[in-house]
Amino acid sequence: MSENILICPKCSCELKKEGGSLICKSRHTYDCAASGYVNLNTKLTLSGDSPEMVNARSRFLDLGYYEGFARAIIRTLDDFKPQKVIDAGCGEGYYSNMIAHELAYTALYGFDLSKSAVNKASKRIKASGTDASFFVCGIFDLPIKDNSADAVVSLFAPLAYEEFHRVLKPGGRLVIGAAGKEHLYGLKRALYSEVYENNPEKVVCPEGFREISRENVKYDVIITGKEAIGDLFSMTPYYWKTSEAAASRLLTLDRLDTPLDFDIIVFERL
């Protein structure tokens, strides 16, 4: 584990590895879990995604439908060869794993509030033999030194711009993956009588950054099997705002044709 950009969430001193723990100068101690992650969450009220949601997302992503998007993110990162990459809201580590595996020159730090997600991410990395480290921690309060990261990756996760600005080096880049206009249009059509396109334009360049690029990645997929369709549905925001009747209709389908449409937006930290 490369821990030299990590700081103690209690006192902001540098965290160093000592045996199976991360320890700061004031002896605040954070133990590595069996799977390798470290819990750096000092707020007890927030817990993130449940194990069921994590498993559903993991099963779905492992089917490879989002691989084209993951490859585009990796190409975007490889363009500027970042040494230290933060995956802010890494979930169960599907993308982190691919980034760490494909870009062997990076040290990857994944953060997520969900312990089950981070546990899964840690096991995934162990299984693939690549070197990356994972932490249970919210992304609005990253235990990372100021001006220390070369890249922050935010894929379908909340955007903590001020915090990203703080941890990025000047010239470091924020790589955002968000839903493009037609993302999951087929899924929405199966759920609702009136369907609207997404608005990726709402991601505007925040203060302290400048926009470098905006790339669209779009392809059609046929998602087969009730389990895969149900798993996909449960990882979308629609899961929380669809009537039971519409949801049950969707879950009777054996096949779903839909575009996947992603916007990859890159901002440089000034």
Which parts of this chain interact with Zn ion (CB under 5 A)? Answer: 8, 10-11, 24, 26, 28
Shortest Cβ 199–Zn ion spacing (Å): 42
Of 190, 217, 230, the closest CA to residue 60 belongs to: 230
Which residue's CB is nearer to Zn ion, number 28 or number 59? 28
Which residue's CB is nearer to Zn ion, number 28 or number 214? 28
How far, in whole angstroms, is CA 221 from its chain's centroid? 22
Q: How far apart are CA 199 and CA 259, in angstroms?
A: 15
Q: Find the residue with minimal CB distance to Zn ion.
A: 8
Shortest Cβ 5–Zn ion spacing (Å): 15
Shortest Cβ 32–Zn ion spacing (Å): 17
Which string of b and e fits 199-213 if b means at least 16 CB within 10 Å?
ebeebeeeebbeebe
Which residue's CB is nearer to Zn ion, number 10 or number 255? 10
CA angle 199, 201, 202 (to 5 degrees): 80
Question: What's the chain's Rg over C-alpha atoms?
Answer: 19
Shortest Cβ 11–Zn ion spacing (Å): 3
Q: How far apart are CA 265 and CA 169, in angstroms?
A: 18
Which residue's CB is nearer to Zn ion, number 36 or number 143? 143
